[in-house]
Chain A
Amino acid sequence: MAELSAAQRAASVATPRPRARLRENQVAWLLITPTIIILVALSVYPLIWSGAMAFRVENLFNPKIGKWVGFRNFDFLLFNDDTFWKTIWLTFVWCAVVVSVQLVLGFLLALLMDTTMRAVGVLRTLLVIPVFISPVAMGLTWRFMFEPVSGVINYLITSVGFDRGAWHTATDTALVAVMIAEIWQWTPFVTLIMLAGMQGISPEVIEAARLDRVRGWTYLQRIVIPLIWPVITVVILLRVVDSMRIFDLIYVITRGGPGTATLLASVNTYSIFQSGRLGVMAAYGFLIVILINIVVFAFLRVLYRQEKASRRRAPARA
């Protein structure tokens, strides 16, 4: 009994009195209220408003015609607009190609730089430069470089005996041209993150692998990749999200053209905005968010499972 009453006493000391708890709650609310107001004003309200707009006819240039039209905007995009599915397809192609190439190149460059060579420090500094260039400035530079008649890229190509390319001015090469610019800018970022991961591998593990004569592809497959897998997962996630919302680079180089050759989802959203069809734009935005989220969710699930499995395997191997 005596023990119980001591515990009760202790509990009564640890638990604040109702009035004190009320004051604490009030302070907490007071502190988080500005955040809530800002969130509601800048995120929740616009989200609800644009959600409502997706079910309306709204024209930027003629606000008087606004009216509720149910699912008509969605119906138009999904079943009548011949660019909708193309923009979705292009966005996924873009994302898959750009992120894959960046990962492979980034990994290889990180391997090269993960040495004790003297020049590595300088190389690392040089390598990081593209990441800091504004995408608009970079887009303009690449556009001039790709210029089919007087651009430096065609000059170099023709000077070694190849034919000139049409680059961003032809439907079959425009996407590739913009991908080159994007890969050039963001591969260094992938390299740096991977390099950090590689340099985090314990020297003992590397030494053990060396003593066991684990080399080449086996070393990469069994030692490096599993150990930096969490880093790779983060890089993939960052690059996928970033690639999906690409806008500036494409807008500056091709504005989604020629035709619809580079009309990715974000550029098309803007293109619909320019035409003033705000209702269609809102519906398009929602469809894109849903589709992208489905893909990203599925992708993250796969990555998560792989990571979980590799963690389970690690102690078993040990």
Chain B
Amino acid sequence: MVTDRETLAKQALAEGRRLRDELTRRRMLELSAATAAAAWVGGNIAEARAAGEETHGPGWYTDDKLTGKVVMYTFAGQRWGLPPKAMLPTFKERFPNVEVEVVDEPVGEAYGKIQMRAASKSDAFNTQWADHNQLSALVNIGAMVDMDPWLAKDPGWTEDYFKDVPANVTVGYRSPQTPEGHTYMLASDSNAKLQYYRKDLFEKAGIKGPATTFEEAIEIAKELHAPDRDQYGFVTTARRGLFAGLELYQMVRSYGGVWFNDQWEPQFNTEIGHRAFSTLLKLMEYRHPVTINAADDEVNAVLAKGSAVFAPFEWGTSVLNNKDFTEFASVFGAAVVPKGETPESKHEPLMGGFGQYVNAFAKDQDAAFEFIKHMNSGDYTDSRIGLDYVMNTGQPARSSLLRKYADVNPYFIALADSIVVCTPAFPWIPEAFTVAEALGNDVVAVIAGEKDMETALKDIDAAQRQIMAESGYYD
């Protein structure tokens, strides 16, 4: 019936798309991810397994001597909750004596929960998803296991992974976070700020393509802004705290600025900081009303409804390409975020995404690593792994998967282009969230009209300096 891997993948993809069109969003969630993935591949699990040999890649091996239990903590919801569950059938084929439990908890307050769980030295889990912005905080308390010795045992797999996942991404999961650092997490999931726009409205207004510079972005926002028709030219996630902080930081990066200089002195009250903040405030003139209280969910909801039509720097998401979620799914375009107009400006989207680490305080670390590695394998180990990951709403970090499955999620191309030029969303220090929250509180005070920009920029630098001084950076 199926003779080669590519044909199988194409057939599965077509079947998946057909099923996705037929199923409602609710029904999709009701289906077990793993069962759905297997069903998409071959009609049922048995057939999918029978077809397994045809899908094996060079990284395929099995080990029935490996035993233990893997408990993985992840976040409920499509992008993070479903992909690890979808890995179970293929993982079981390879490691039949390893039991896996995927615990998906609500994503709310994720960073605090991850940190507290790790700080408590709990052995109730042996792997969890974490953010690269949190890596230094987790390494700092000795919560993670260096993966290099495991990776060294499988040089083929390691070479393939580091060739496929851009260095911009993998460096964030090393400690220290430099190319020479040791790998402490593998990143199955990637994200970056992307530029989302409505192709139909751009065409209608005679706007050619997405914005290249923020000057163009302001013009586009102005052109598309028609509040009397419930159409707003700009939307972003400016909720108080770190969301708002990252908005300004995105602008600062786009104008060639940095958060701290080499001496850990904050760099917001600078010429670049002023320019970046002014541009942000100009865009805010065309903002959708939800902007000031919005995180991703609120922004995606108004984009989906059509009352917001342009988001030049919004976190990458599959929902805007999902026709169960929005009637505009087919006309949403995605591109790399704009840059500033100055010579030092560059396209430098902030980086998101998650990796998985092995808990230093838990047992069965070998089994935990194998599960993480399996999930990060892409097609190198088995083409069903990449397929299952994507078809179960994952947002992979492997460029090969992003490009291969661009017809499933068209924004994958923009994401693939973005993650090779992206920059860390926070400074890579344990206090990342502390400085980001402080930054965001001042940014939103300006947007809300509680402070003027000049005062806020001075306050931002003062607050950042105070936090850094408390942490001993100036000793």
Q: Which residues of A contact B (CB under 8 A)?
A: 57, 59-65, 76, 82-83, 147-150, 166, 168-171, 254-261, 263, 271, 273-277
Contacts and interface: CB of A to CB of B under 8 A. Distances in A.
A273 B112 contact: yes
A149 B289 contact: yes
Given A63-B141, A271-B240, A168 B293 contact: yes
A119 B240 CA distance: 47
Nearest to B455: A82
B175 to A, nearest CB: 14
A57 B438 CA distance: 16
Contacts of B140: 62-64
Nearest to A280: B470
B302 interface: yes
Interface in B103-121: 109, 111-112, 115-116, 119
B288 interface: yes
A259 B471 contact: no
A94 B79 CA distance: 39
Interface residues of B, number: 45
B432 interface: yes
Given A259-B450, A260-B445, A274-B433, A61 B115 contact: yes
A255 B295 CA distance: 11
A82 B290 CA distance: 25
B430 A62 contact: yes
Given A61-B115, A149-B302, A255 B437 contact: no
Contacts of B433: 61, 274-276
B260 to A, nearest CB: 16
B459 to A, nearest CB: 8
Interface in B279-333: 288-293, 302, 305, 307
Contacts of A149: 230, 232, 288-290, 302, 305, 307
Contacts of A147: 290
A147 B432 CA distance: 32
Given A257-B448, A274-B241, A276-B437, 20 more contacts: A57-B471, A59-B431, A59-B434, A61-B134, A61-B137, A62-B137, A64-B430, A65-B470, A149-B230, A149-B305, A169-B291, A169-B293, A257-B444, A258-B444, A258-B448, A259-B448, A263-B240, A271-B437, A273-B112, A275-B437
Interface in B230-266: 230, 232, 239-242
Contacts of B230: 149-150
Given A63-B119, A149-B288, A150-B307, A276 B293 contact: no
A10 to B, nearest CB: 62
B441 interface: yes
A85 B137 CA distance: 32
A261 B137 contact: no
B453 to A, nearest CB: 14
Contacts of A259: 240, 292, 444-445, 447-450
Nearest to A61: B137
Nearest to B293: A257
B137 A255 contact: no
A274 B243 CA distance: 12
9 contacts: A59-B470, A62-B430, A149-B302, A149-B305, A169-B291, A259-B448, A259-B449, A274-B112, A274-B433
A261 B293 CA distance: 11
Given A62-B471, A255-B240, A171 B450 contact: yes
A170 B448 CA distance: 8
B289 A150 contact: no
B206 interface: no
B450 A169 contact: no
Contacts of A60: 112, 115-116, 119
A171 B292 CA distance: 10
A242 to B, nearest CB: 24
A274 B437 contact: yes
A60 B430 CA distance: 9
Given A61-B432, A149-B307, A275 B449 contact: no
Contact of A254 (B293, B470, B471): B293
Nearest to A275: B437
Contacts of A63: 119, 140-141
Given A149-B289, A277-B434, A257 B239 contact: yes
Contacts of B137: 61-62
Most buried by B among A63, A65, A76, A275: A275
A140 to B, nearest CB: 11
Contacts of B290: 147-149, 169
B149 interface: no
B472 interface: yes
A260 B450 contact: yes
A261 B289 contact: no
A169 B292 contact: yes
B69 to A, nearest CB: 29
B17 to A, nearest CB: 30
Interface string B440-475: 010011011110000000010000001100111000
For the complex of A and B, the 9 pairs showing the least CB-CB separation, nearest first, are A259-B448, A275-B437, A62-B430, A148-B289, A258-B292, A169-B289, A61-B137, A257-B240, A259-B450
Contacts of A255: 239-241, 293
Contacts of A148: 289-290
A258 to B, nearest CB: 4
B361 to A, nearest CB: 15
Contacts of A62: 137, 140, 430-431, 471
